[in-house]
Amino acid sequence: MAGLSGIMNALLLAIINLASASPTSEADNLRYLAMFVAAIGVFITAQNYLLSRSTQLVESCLNSVRLRLLDRILRADLLPLEGLGKPQLFYIFPKRR
């Protein structure tokens, strides 16, 4: 789909260059307008697909990272830390500035 989007981008530039190259008849102008509208429609559709697909992939990656972190937290042995008490934890893990 990225290739199609790139091709449509190049096609849009070519249509604009052809239409602006020389004065043409009204029929040619309508033909260039129809080609431009069709190319921009395909380009926008491809871009929307790419954006939604990349969003899905990023969300999937973030979800797997969250699940791995949650799994590590759940498997961590926190009982010894709970027995230390709050003042000792603050002493062991000082605040960094």
Q: What does the block give as tokens for 31? A: 């033909």
Query: Is residue 93 very low, low, confident or very high in pLDDT (cuts 50, 70, 90)?
Result: low
Helix or strand (DSSP H, E) at 53: helix 26-75
**pLDDT tens-digit readout, 64-79:** 988 888 888 778 777 7
The position carrying tokens 């790419």 is 50
Query: Can you give the residue ranges of every domain in the chain?
Result: 2-92
The position carrying tokens 């789909």 is 1
Residues 27-44 have a mean pLDDT of: 90
* Out of 33-37, 80-84, 91-95, least confident range: 91-95
